[in-house]
Amino acid sequence: MESRLTEIEIKLALTEDLVDTLNMTVHRQQEQIDALQRQLVQLYHQMQSAAPSAESRDLRDEIPPHY
């Protein structure tokens, strides 16, 4: 009986460690997602501010870089 209890305690400790590790991983990923969302918003604003000048040129008139 005592060996079963010890085995359960070991499994519980390992499970708690795994949950903590997964929690840290999810937290880091959420921070990365937040940073990427901020960058996306900044790029969107840059594109919006540059849009009027981009509309005045026609991409078909430009020569591709390999020519």
DSSP code string of 2-40: HHHHHHHHHHHHHHHHHHHHHHHHHHHHHHHHHHHHHHH
> pLDDT band at residue 56, thresholds of 50, 70 and 90?
low
- Cα atoms in the 13 Å half-sphere on the side-chain side of 33: 6
pLDDT in tens, 18-55: 999 999 999 999 999 999 999 999 999 999 888 665 45
Domain ranges of the chain: 1-47
